[in-house]
Structure 1
Amino acid sequence: MYAPPAAHCRDVMPVRSRDRFQRSLFLPPLSPLSPVIPLVHSRHATLARIHAAVFMSTIYNLRFELLTLILYNILVYFLLKYDIISTKPEGDFLSMLGVSLTFFQTFGNNQAYSRWWEARMLWGGIVNLSRTVPTYLEGVEDPGKKLTREQKLDIVQRHIAYIRLVVHQLRREQVPGTAGRYLQNDEMQLMHLPNPAVGLLSVQSRAINKLYRDGLIDSYARIHLLRLTGTCLDLQGACERIKTTPFPPTYFLFLRFVLACFLLILPFQMFNSYGYPGAVASILIGTAYLAMERFGSDLADPFEGRQNDCAMLAICDTIQKDLLGPDIPLEKHRLSSAICIM
């Protein structure tokens, strides 16, 4: 029976407006007939629900713009119907404006996607690094001594806590007070630092060195675990570079100005050419342009917790399940959904 990846699907929706109803769109109800339904049918049903949820989420995020667009088109329709105004813009001018707008949107979205893809590649590197932590703890122990399960779990859980803190720092969110249930007392003091994630990595490095001094890991494991923490710092720094280097705001300001001019003129041309059906066509065309503008704006800032941002929460859940096992509920983990899932 196919089960959709709940963590990934959950992060497709906007973080701020996510609720139980929206999450339920992603998870098809279990049925006694599920085992006999072909796998491909189950996948298609799940994808259909995901696409429907993403579409509804896009409409919800654009609700104010769409309402304004609809009301404006209705106003223009009545103004033209009762000959209150008789403006007839040139079709060539509107075509040139539409082509220019499409060119600017395509260029901006390509650049924004490059920023999003770089962010996703960085988090893919964090995933690959995280999966090697248990390998070094399990495979290169000192023959004379052995790490206890609690000692291994302490290293792994601290690494998970670090990744969760990176997410909060990139989104500039306050870490909830419930973190005290999952962090040790000395680690809770790190929350007052300018960069708590870096401070937690320093604690991790000291813990690794202590295991080496106690003879519980050899020099090979120590070198690679410390190198792993250094690589995590490099990846975190690259993510912070994207975060602190915004997409040029002048570009989106100019793009929105051109888009507003286009949407103001479009209804007149559509109504004069096609009559009442032109109202529907004008709204659909305007919705497409508004959605593409919002899509590019979201991709340009991949760490803002928007609809199309980098799915950091889903990636964190994947790392957590890979390191601690899928059978352990998230609330049983040291750093659970109480601290990292909005």
Structure 2
Amino acid sequence: MLYYIILSVVVFLLHDHFQIMHLHLPFNTISALSTALAIFLGFKNNNAYDRWWEGRKIWGLLVNYSRAWTRQLINMILPTAPSEASEVKAFQKRMVYRHIAFVHALRVFLRRTHGYNETRQSEIYQEENDYADTKSFLSEREFQLFCHKNNPPNYLLELQGEDLRRAFERGWVSDFRFVKMEETLVEFNNIQGRSERIKNTPFPRQYSFFSRVFVFIHASLLPFVFIEELGWVSMPISVIISFVFLCLDLVGERSEDPFENRLEDVPLTDISLTIETNVKEQWGDKDFPKKKNVEGVVL
């Protein structure tokens, strides 16, 4: 913006005040470029928003399936004898709390920084570099193994599947219930895979690069178009129009990667805490987590 302001002032001084140079360009020069640039930015922003909205829908599904999974653990895993009631209760609790750990682990896993992303470290709020939020929901042995895995969330799903198989072998889960619960675990795999697809597939770089180049060219030509007819008014007019196109470009750029832990990204922390609260309430635990706010916004 500073460049656009200086350029408009220099063009005005050279053309109108000092009358050193005739710098006027015909209006048709900028009208064709403006139309093409608007179409290009609209296409870029629509696709960037689609990526953001898909990420939000994926995590909305995670909320729904988390509630369903907790209900299945409570109602479908049943002891075969009264003497097994306490053992089954501890087994259910372990699986319920391990799922909360999976949700937090997936959030941290998706927020890893990739080299292609141009986000500066100072723009990332409360950068999460470890899985400390999961420690209280796992046994010490599970947590130690979990921290050394290449894909920690997937490891927790593997543990869930192994425990589900043991429950089936003990007779706590019938054939039909085992199949239904395994289908829910598969949905968690699908949710993670779809999130990773967005995270690991950057928006084509040519859109970000050329949109910035086109905005720069367009804004650089604006003062030369308006200077003849508007005089000094061309300075604020050209700066305002440049600001609008620059904002359109930045909106698309900051929407294309929804899992970078910025204020405008999908609020994974808020959704994770919502899931933790819902799951704990279903289990009967009243120790609900508090929302984490950064500058008044829940991440």
Please state which band the TM-score falls in when normalised by the shorter chain: 0.7 to 0.9
Report the alpha carbon displacement of residue 234 of structure 1 after superposing the two structures with TM: 1.7
* Partner Cα distance (1:68, 1:324) in 2: 54
Partner in structure 1 of residue 46 of structure 2: 110
Report the alpha carbon displacement of residue 212 of structure 1 after superposing the two structures with TM: 3.5
* Partner Cα distance (1:149, 1:285) in 2: 64
Report the alpha carbon displacement of residue 84 of structure 1 after superposing the two structures with TM: 4.6
Partner in structure 1 of residue 25 of structure 2: 89
Runs of 5+ unmatched residues, structure 2: 114-127, 293-297
Partner in structure 2 of residue 31 of structure 1: none
Contact 1:298/1:307, CA 8 A, preserved across alignment = no
Aligned letter for 1:257? V
Aligned letter for 1:70? I
Residue 289 and residue 149 in structure 1: after superposition, are their counterparts in 2 closer, same or farther (change >3 A)? farther
TM-score by length of 2: 0.78
| Aligned-pair identity (%) | 27
CA RMSD of superposed structures (Å): 2.8
Do residues 158 (structure 1) and 112 (structure 2) align?
no
Residue 134 and residue 93 in structure 1: after superposition, are their counterparts in 2 closer, same or farther (change >3 A)? same
Partner in structure 1 of residue 5 of structure 2: 70
Alignment map for 1:8-47 (pairs within 5 Å): none
Report the alpha carbon displacement of residue 297 of structure 1 after superposing the two structures with TM: 1.7
Contact 1:137/1:217, CA 8 A, preserved across alignment = no
SS at match of 1:260: helix
Contact 2:104/2:133, CA 8 A, preserved across alignment = no
Partner in structure 1 of residue 158 of structure 2: 202
Alignment counterpart, residue 122 of structure 1, candidates 50, 58, 67: 58
* Partner Cα distance (2:131, 2:261) in 1: 20
Partner in structure 2 of residue 281 of structure 1: 237
Runs of 5+ unmatched residues, structure 1: 1-65
Report the alpha carbon displacement of residue 111 of structure 1 after superposing the two structures with TM: 2.2
Do residues 328 (structure 1) and 287 (structure 2) align?
yes
SS at match of 1:86: coil
* Partner Cα distance (2:288, 2:103) in 1: 18
Alignment counterpart, residue 254 of structure 1, candidates 194, 205, 210: 210
Contact 1:167/1:313, CA 8 A, preserved across alignment = yes
Q: Which structure's CA Rg is the greater one? A: 2
* Partner Cα distance (1:279, 1:297) in 2: 27
Residue 98 and residue 218 in structure 1: after superposition, are their counterparts in 2 closer, same or farther (change >3 A)? same
**Structure 1 stretch 212-221 or stretch 183-192: which is displaced more?**
212-221
Aligned letter for 1:187? E
Residue 327 and residue 307 in structure 1: after superposition, are their counterparts in 2 closer, same or farther (change >3 A)? same
* Partner Cα distance (1:297, 1:69) in 2: 20
Alignment map for 1:227-306 (pairs within 5 Å): 227-306=183-262
Alignment counterpart, residue 178 of structure 1, candidates 108, 128, 132: 132
Residue 68 and residue 131 in structure 1: after superposition, are their counterparts in 2 closer, same or farther (change >3 A)? farther
* Partner Cα distance (1:141, 1:305) in 2: 37
SS at match of 2:250: helix
Partner in structure 2 of residue 317 of structure 1: 273
Alignment counterpart, residue 69 of structure 2, candidates 128, 133, 145: 133
Residue 130 and residue 85 in structure 1: after superposition, are their counterparts in 2 closer, same or farther (change >3 A)? farther
Report the alpha carbon displacement of residue 307 of structure 1 after superposing the two structures with TM: 4.3
Alignment counterpart, residue 142 of structure 2, candidates 164, 187, 199: 187
Aligned residues: 270
Residue 83 and residue 161 in structure 1: after superposition, are their counterparts in 2 closer, same or farther (change >3 A)? farther
Report the alpha carbon displacement of residue 232 of structure 1 after superposing the two structures with TM: 1.0
Residue 288 and residue 216 in structure 1: after superposition, are their counterparts in 2 closer, same or farther (change >3 A)? same
* Partner Cα distance (2:90, 2:234) in 1: 68
Partner in structure 2 of residue 45 of structure 1: none
Partner in structure 2 of residue 41 of structure 1: none
* Partner Cα distance (1:328, 1:272) in 2: 69
